[in-house]
């Protein structure tokens, strides 16, 4: 990952108004700056920035993945916030998590929905 890809990741993050990655980078600074760098350079600069799928569509996929994984509530909060930045409404986020209950079960959907609530509250 060269500096260009990292810069592309930062541009992508700025474009979608993501603030959480900065906090993540800070939390990793002492322990694994490379993990933070890869998240931005590869995750956002290389994959997220690809033109084949809109940020709004990507966030729907991400909400599905994170809900199903479980145990990723902090990431869910960040991605719910990002989802709202790129065009999903709160109602759509909440409906997406209800929809996920069919496939991932109620406990995962409940945990994800409470994370969404925290993300909503943090915007106020």
Q: Which residues would be at the binding site for a copy of itself (CB under 8 A)?
A: 1, 24, 27-28, 30-32, 34-35, 38-39, 42-43, 46-48, 50, 52-53, 57-58, 60-72, 74-75, 91-92, 94-111, 113-114, 116-117, 120
Distance CA 2, CA 105 (A): 41
Instruction: Name the DSSP class of 53.
Output: S
Nearer to a copy of itself, 17 or 67 (CB): 67
Residue 77, both tokens: 């909060």
CB of 75 to a copy of itself, least distance (A): 4
Among candidates 26, 8, 17, which has minimal Cα distance to 88? Answer: 17
Q: Which is nearer to a copy of itself, 15 or 99 (CB)?
A: 99
Give the integer Cα–Cα distance in Å for 49 and 121.
28
């Amino acid at each position: 990952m060269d500096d260009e890809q990292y810069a592309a990741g930062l541009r992508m993050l700025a474009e979608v108004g993501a603030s959480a990655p900065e906090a993540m980078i800070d939390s990793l600074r002492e322990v694994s700056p490379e993990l933070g760098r890869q998240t931005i350079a590869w995750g956002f600069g290389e994959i997220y920035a690809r033109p084949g799928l809109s940020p709004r569509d990507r966030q729907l996929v991400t909400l599905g993945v994170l809900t199903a994984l479980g145990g990723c509530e902090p990431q869910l909060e960040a991605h719910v916030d990002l989802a709202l930045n790129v065009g999903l409404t709160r109602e759509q986020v909440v409906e997406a998590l209800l929809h996920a209950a069919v496939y991932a079960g109620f406990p995962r959907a409940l945990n994800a929905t409470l994370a969404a609530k925290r993300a909503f509250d943090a915007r106020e």
